[in-house]
Homo-oligomer: A and B are copies of this chain.
Amino acid sequence: MTGHIDARLAELGIVLPKSAAPVAAYVPSVVSGNLVFVSGQIPIRDGDILYKGRLGDGVTVEDGYQAARLCGLNLLAQVRDAVGDLDRVRRVVKLGGFVACVPEFSDHPKVINGASDLMIDVFGETGRHARFAVGAPSLPLGVAVEVDGVFEVLS
């Protein structure tokens, strides 16, 4: 039997990436009470980093948007690993969005919308979340975007 959210993913033509192993000494997610804290995810699929570089220095807003969407897909893959089934997500609580960029860049919200729009596409109202979007001079492995998240799940 397919879950409701799995069916929605299929309807959207979305195949979640294989959840990526952490690039260092930590775990992809921790469940505490009803909250799942997911580690910062990068734009990686099947082991390949797809979006490197900085916004305002060769990486376009559209590329950044796609990078953030891929971070969002990786967040979902981690949540599914953590709780077994995305139908258990009661609310996307918060996303933290970091954009590698030059000092003149100011379109961070349009970039992180890639992850935000995905949550709403997949979960509908349940996907509406609080968030921040900020700049960074650089991010791990030279990626263009990193997004972490907090999700509320049924206990």
Question: Which chain A residues have a beta carbon within 8 Å of chain B's beta carbons?
Answer: 23-30, 32-35, 37-40, 54, 91-96, 98, 100-110, 112-113, 116-117, 120, 128-142, 146, 148, 150, 152
Contacts and interface: CB of A to CB of B under 8 A. Distances in A.
Q: Which of A25, A35, A128, A146 has the most CB of B within 10 A?
A: A25
B116 A152 contact: no
Identical chains in the assembly: 3
Contact of A113 (B25, B30, B100): B25
A24 B113 contact: yes
Nearest to A142: B106
A79 to B, nearest CB: 11
Contacts of A140: 106-109, 133-134
Contacts of A101: 137-138
A105 B138 contact: yes
A54 B139 CA distance: 14
15 contacts: A26-B95, A30-B128, A32-B91, A98-B132, A100-B103, A100-B135, A102-B138, A105-B138, A109-B140, A132-B148, A134-B146, A135-B137, A135-B138, A136-B137, A137-B137
